[in-house]
Amino acid sequence: MAAPSDLVDPPDLRAGFEQIFNAYFAEIHRYIARRLSDDVADDLAAEVFLAAYRGGYDASRGQVRPWLYGIATHLVARHRRTEIRRWKALSRTAERPEHSHEDAALTRVTAGELTGRLAGALAVLSRGDRDVVLLSALGGLSHAEVAAALKIPAGTVASRLNRARKQLRKALGDVNPLEENHG
């Protein structure tokens, strides 16, 4: 049986992890919330840091930020079916006129989030392409950071992003969804 002192993490481990948590929790939470929802983000962000704490940070992995985004993206992938159903539902909502109080409320709640044709277009992207787009657009990660987060070559990030942009642009009527001004 372990001695009580063996069950407590050393202070330097707790302090280092506390610094990582304080530096990145809000950013990781925001990324997950933008991909899924605030409610899911609360739980998944906590899971990200629990997994990070259990796995321990190894400096040979590279920077902490992409490592955490990689964990977050992996956990989001577990919720992908729900995510895709949500985007398809939002897409269908945008295609029909509001007829009920529920429709009006749904429209207000989803205002400012991924809606309409963009949601539908994202839903049909491959997982890899969608992850690259969302890490870039919602997470604000560089190509190198996306590569580190997904454990893929930087060239793969560039090709996936290029392919996804073309598919999204086509689905949206030649509008680039990753640009601030759409026309």
What average pLDDT does the structure give for the chain? 77
Domain edges within the chain: 125-183
Name residues whose C-beta falls within 8 Å of residue 4's C-beta, 6 or more positions apart in sequence.
Answer: none
What is the distance between the alpha carbons of residues 172 and 148, in angstroms, rounded to a whole number? Answer: 29
Give pLDDT, residue 179. Answer: 53
Q: Which CATH class is domain 125-183?
A: mainly alpha
What is the distance between the alpha carbons of residues 69 and 31, in angstroms, rounded to a whole number? Answer: 8
Task: Kindly report which listed range (27-31, 35-39, 146-150) carries the lowest average pLDDT score.
Answer: 35-39
pLDDT-based confidence at residue 97 (cuts at 50, 70, 90): low
Task: Kindly report which listed range (8-12, 20-24, 120-124) carries the lowest average pLDDT score.
Answer: 8-12
Q: What is the pLDDT of residues 30-69, one digit of tens each?
A: 999 998 888 889 999 999 999 988 887 776 777 899 999 9
